[in-house]
Amino acid sequence: MILAAGHGERLRPLTETTPKALVEVRGKSLLERHMERLKAAGIETVVINLGWLGERIADRIGSGHAYGVNVVYSQEGDNILETGGGIYRALPMLGRDPFLVVNADIYTDMPLPPAGLAESDVGHLVLVPRPAHKEQGDFDLRDGRVCEDRNAAYTFSGVAVYRPVFFAGCKPGRFPLAPMLKTAAREGRLAGSLYEGLWEDVGTPERLADLNRP
């Protein structure tokens, strides 16, 4: 699943007319770059959630056949459901096995994490070193386990694998994913890995300009 429904408020005014997933870095939109990488990794079906300017995404990507994958859309319309709510709404489209989720607004060349999970784990997060623009990290990583720490060194990359059961007990509606991840980390139910290569959260015009700089 690619999370592409958000407003991209920090990228205004660009995102007043362009959905953040279609913002271009080095001549190619973030979303199309993700599609190509998912195809190269052997993924055949991609669910994309749509919200702000979602019709423009659907017009550009269509069925996904041009990218070698089958695309299914999870429509949120004007009621954008945040990360947790968006994934929960799309669960019927994602099947019973662990599934990959990628935030549309990241630029990276990381390899995809393995789909297999230990029986006791509800997810696997890819972490990255805390970027300079963030005052504190999200998690630490010890012996392949995601954990909380007051001085956490790492940031959640926006790339993860989840079991559908991770969302058991959730209810339809708008809710964030972060509190659920923190709870699962405290309970010792999250595996993790560290990626130290190219990764950027394309969250502001300044960061976008830096990426597009020759």
Residues 6+ apart with CB under 8 A from 169: none
> For 28-62, how does the pLDDT look when each residue is reduced to its tens digit (9 = 90+)?
999 999 999 999 999 999 999 999 999 999 999 99
Give me the number of domains the chain comprises: 1
Confidence of residue 101 (pLDDT cuts 50, 70, 90): very high
- Contact indicator for 173, 210 with CB cutoff of 8 Å: no
Please tell me what DSSP assigns to residue 186.
Answer: H
Could you tell me the residue range of the domain that residue 81 belongs to?
2-212
What's the chain's average pLDDT?
Answer: 94
- 10-19 in b/e burial notation, b at 16+ Cβ within 10 A? bbeeebeebb
Q: What is the pLDDT of residue 82?
A: 95
Arithmetic mean of pLDDT, 9-33: 90
- Contact indicator for 161, 123 with CB cutoff of 8 Å: yes
Arithmetic mean of pLDDT, 136-148: 94
CATH of the domain at 8: 3.90.550.10
Phi and psi (nearest 5°) for 109?
-120, 20
Q: What is the pLDDT of residue 164?
A: 97
Instruction: Give the residue from 198, 162, 199 showing the smallest Cα distance to 177.
Output: 162
d(CA 212, CA 170): 39
Supply the pTM of this predicted model.
Answer: 0.94
Q: What is the DSSP string of 24-68?
A: EETTEEHHHHHHHHHHHTT--EEEEEE-TTHHHHHHHHTTSGGGT
Arithmetic mean of pLDDT, 82-95: 96
- On the question of pLDDT at 92 being above 90, the answer is yes
- On the question of pLDDT at 133 being above 90, the answer is no
- On the question of pLDDT at 114 being above 90, the answer is no
> For 158-205, how does the pLDDT look when each residue is reduced to its tens digit (9 = 90+)?
999 999 999 999 999 999 999 999 999 999 999 999 999 999 999 888
Q: What is the pLDDT of residue 186?
A: 95
Q: What is the pLDDT of residue 68?
A: 95
